[in-house]
Structure 1
């Protein structure tokens, strides 16, 4: 039995929280902000994946003498090794692309 029905598309759910979560796909609500860059997400699992992908939470710390991703150049001067994040990611763009130093 699925007593909870989305008033926008008619899809039904077994629990109210699942219906409320689904409703965000229609409303565009993004209640989960990244505490590092401010980008917002509809679902908590998307925020978690963003942090793991963009800030590499499980990755060892990068030092100034670390080679680049391609092993061709030292760490770029526009990267903050202490924060282990790319400033370009902090822009207002919602596109998240890997930075490759050539």
Structure 2
């Protein structure tokens, strides 16, 4: 019999994976895993307008993955989750392993398109 806790955990994990299944949010979390960034600097890195970036950041905030800090008019974001950093590292490793099957050549973990 499947417990209610297992179902709740599966639902939570599915929501997290769906959220992280977006290329821009993966890029955002990669940059924030390196350290705190202003909204403007982050928008430039991920090639989004500040309003589009704000929509992604709101979704990441809703799952408690990022934290925000205000300094006067500037807003700064940083990763709040070591688990996300570990997941990103696993994603790099896994991508490097499956890349040969996808395009016939070996890819280093640092060369992943979203890393």
TM-score where L is the length of structure 2: 0.24
Which has a greater percent of strand?
2
TM-score where L is the length of structure 1: 0.26
Which has a greater percent of helix?
2
